């Protein structure tokens, strides 16, 4: 029984340690990322900087979104090259080409991750774009 409790405690400790630090905590009740079995599942990121949505332009907002994804990756000692899957949510599919132009500046080397881009009617905080991702820790 003691061994079982020790194993449970170690697993819980590892899971808690895999959570992102307070600087990247969202304003809603979810984790910025959760690590499980070598995968890091990054929750949807919007273009917030210093608590405010970047609204200078769509491109500036999209860059901030991917910078936020990048920060969560760094928090987990990963980079964009470790990302294997991306989901993009756009309020306006007319922004698809602009999204791809910004996206290419972050995913520049080797193989690109699998990806889906979905049009939605609304996003949190008035955002125009939201991105979630899955990264894998290389052995």
18-66: pLDDT as tens digits: 554 444 556 788 899 999 999 999 999 999 999 999 999 999 999 999 9
Domain 2-136: CATH superfamily is RutC-like (3.30.1330.40)
Q: For residue 62, what are the CA distances in angstroms to 45, 96, 132?
A: 10, 11, 13
97-111: pLDDT as tens digits: 999 999 999 998 788
Percent of the chain predicted with pLDDT > 70? 81
Handedness of CA 34, 127, 124, 85 (dihedral sign): negative
Closest CA to 66 of 85, 92, 48, 90: 48
Phi/psi for 34 (5° steps) reads -135, 135
The domains of the chain are located at 2-136
What's the pLDDT score for residue 47?
97
CA angle 139, 45, 18 (to 5 degrees): 40
């Amino acid at each position: 029984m003691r061994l079982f409790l020790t194993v449970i405690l170690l697993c819980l400790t590892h899971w808690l340690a895999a959570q992102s630090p307070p600087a990247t905590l969202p304003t809603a009740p979810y984790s910025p990322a959760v690590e499980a079995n070598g995968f890091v599942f990054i929750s949807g990121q919007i273009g917030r900087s210093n608590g405010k949505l970047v609204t200078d332009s769509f491109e500036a907002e999209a860059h901030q979104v991917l910078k936020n994804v990048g920060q969560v990756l760094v928090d987990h000692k990963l980079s964009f090259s470790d990302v294997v899957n991306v989901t993009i949510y756009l309020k306006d599919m007319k922004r698809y080409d602009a999204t791809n132009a910004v996206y290419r500046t972050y995913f520049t080397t080797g193989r690109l991750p699998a990806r889906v881009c979905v049009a939605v009617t609304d996003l949190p905080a008035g955002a125009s774009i939201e991105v979630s991702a899955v990264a894998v820790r290389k052995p």
